Amino acid sequence: MPAEPNTAPAYHHGDLRRVLVDAATAIVAEEQNWEFSLREVARRAGVSHNAPYRHFPGKLDLLGAIAIKGFVDLRAAMLAAAQQSEGIEEALIAIGAAYVAFGLDNPARYRLMFGTALAASRAALPYPVGEAAAGSHAVLLSVIAQGIAEGVFDAPPDDEEAAAIVALAAWANVHGLVLLLLDGLSVVPPVPSLAERVGRILLGGIKRR
């Protein structure tokens, strides 16, 4: 009897890590949790059950890699939104809408990225995850800094604390909106323009008068 053909997805040498992260990310999206085992990820990826340990000593390491990919994807979405905007005010609205869209499109991955599964606090995140998180946040910080420099946002130039507070207000606006919508607590349904409208209300509060 001839042997069954190998149906495992092909990958080039060096791609195993990416294949495993993609497989685990797909499981998180489908099951809306991260209760999978490394054996399940290996089976989904079409590799031996020991293969994940070549790159991930434990499940927490793989969860960190999923979060890193999420922060990279979020940064890319925010950057694209900013680059397609005319003016700093529209850039702030656009990156906020992109942030909310990412969270609503990736509920479980979003909760993994911003919850306590990886660490008790943001400051305690493993270095690679924290670096990726900072990279996505840097998009917002850059827009805020430019807005302050242009005299659009209400914060004194060269006042890092004031700039950080403006950025925090903007982040709280979109992060809170994502969680309210994901948890079904918003009194307004997630209509397409909701993130933009909420963002414009924030913009009215932080603009220099």
Instruction: Assign 14 a pLDDT band (cuts: 50, 70, 90).
Output: low
CB 209 within 8 A of CB 154: yes
Whether the CB-CB separation of 117 and 34 falls below 8 Å is answered with: yes
CA gap 119, 177 in Å, rounded: 23
Nearest to 170 by CA among 101, 94, 105, 113: 94
**Is residue 12's pLDDT more than 70?**
no
pTM of the model: 0.89
Q: For residue 5, what pLDDT is reported? A: 40
pLDDT, tens only, 131-158: 999 999 999 999 999 999 999 998 999 8
Q: Residue 180 has what pLDDT?
A: 96
Tokens 């003016």, residue? 87
Secondary structure of 125-165 in the HEC alphabet? CCHHHHHHHHHHHHHHHHHHHHHHHCCCECCCCCCHHHHHH
**43-86 pLDDT tens trace:** 999 999 999 999 999 999 999 999 999 999 999 999 999 999 99
Q: Is pLDDT above 60 for 10? A: no
In tens, the pLDDT along 105-122 reads 999 999 999 999 999 998
How many whole angstroms separate alpha carbon 50 and alpha carbon 52? Answer: 6
The mean per-residue pLDDT over the stretch 186-208 comes to 88
